[in-house]
Amino acid sequence: MDIWHRITYHRLDAVDHILDELCIRYKKSPLPRESYILTFRIAESDPRWPQVANLLRAKEALDLYDTIFTPEEIFSAEWVRLIPTFEQGYPQPEATWVRNPINYEGKCPQCGAGYRQVAPFRLAKEPRLGRHDFLSLYWTYTVFCTPRVLEALRAHAIRGYEVWEALLHKTGQPSRLVSQLVFSHVAGPGLLDEDNLHPETCSQCGLTKYAYHKRGYMHFKREALQAEVDILQTHEWFGSGGYGGHREILISHRLARLIVEEGWRGVRLKPVKLV
């Protein structure tokens, strides 16, 4: 496990010479009026991290960070978070979807959480997958996959999902390239106190959302998970503000191993700790 940071400085921060002295390779992106930004990635295991961390605090630079786990850490976990990472396209009709998502029922108008899916998503066009096997739509926490993924899930008797068609908006015909994996099983309340990050309770619906979990392991009570399936949604919701929220997706050890061994792209795996 390592914590990776993606840090961005502005020209006015005047850190070019410091990064050069540290032999840190950065990307220089021009902006209007001879300005520019500098962007680079660094892990906390890097011996230069303490100096970079001090500089980060001094300049209050933009810092986007996340935890990256090794295959061995993933294989040793009983349950793993599945996180969609390859996003392409918007749910249709795009112009009205945010305020009136035709796929969802029960969405709280104040916090954007509490919904359940009742109809297939509609795509603007067939996606360009490249070498990706999984896909998510912007504004959503959805999981779409290719036919070869579906074949492998069936061959390995993976339990806990439904397959829904993804419809092309103009024709209403199902996509030939992707289908949606829908997860109807929900775990019991299980998030431990150490991960109850910045809770926000909605005054209208009463649901509590927690901040996105980015550092280290997420912790759950073992008793909250259902051993008879391979895919669960968490009882808890995550997100912030009124835009929306999502439940995290938890998958079993054997499904996580299948994803890694098959080399499927488009999702990230993060093991969880059970207590």
Give the length of the chain.
Answer: 275
Q: How many CB atoms lie within 10 A of CB 3?
A: 16
| Side chain identity, residue 174 | P
Q: Give the pLDDT confidence of 148-201 residue by residue, as tens digits.
A: 999 999 999 999 999 999 999 999 999 999 999 999 999 999 999 887 888 999
To the nearest whole percent, how much of the chain has pLDDT over 90? Answer: 92
Q: What local confidence, expressed as pLDDT, does residue 33 receive?
A: 87
What gap in Å lies between CA 161 and CA 94, rounded to an integer? 26
Query: Which residues lie closer than 8 Å to 20 by C-beta, 6 or more apart?
Result: none
3-state helix, strand, coil in the chain (%, to 5): 20, 35, 45
Domains recognised in the chain with CATH numbers:
2-68 (3.30.70.120), 74-274 (no CATH)
Q: What local confidence, expressed as pLDDT, does residue 207 receive?
A: 94
In the three-class reduction of DSSP (H, G, I as helix; E, B as strand; rest coil), residue 147 is classed as helix
Q: What local confidence, expressed as pLDDT, does residue 99 receive?
A: 87
CA angle 161, 188, 121 (to 5 degrees): 35
The H-assigned helical ranges of the chain are 16-21, 49-59, 71-75, 94-97, 147-155, 253-262
In the three-class reduction of DSSP (H, G, I as helix; E, B as strand; rest coil), residue 230 is classed as coil
Return the sign of the alpha-carbon dihedral for residues 227, 229, 231, 232.
negative
Residues in the chain with pLDDT < 50?
Answer: none
What gap in Å lies between CA 143 and CA 88, rounded to an integer? 11
What gap in Å lies between CA 163 and CA 149, rounded to an integer? 11
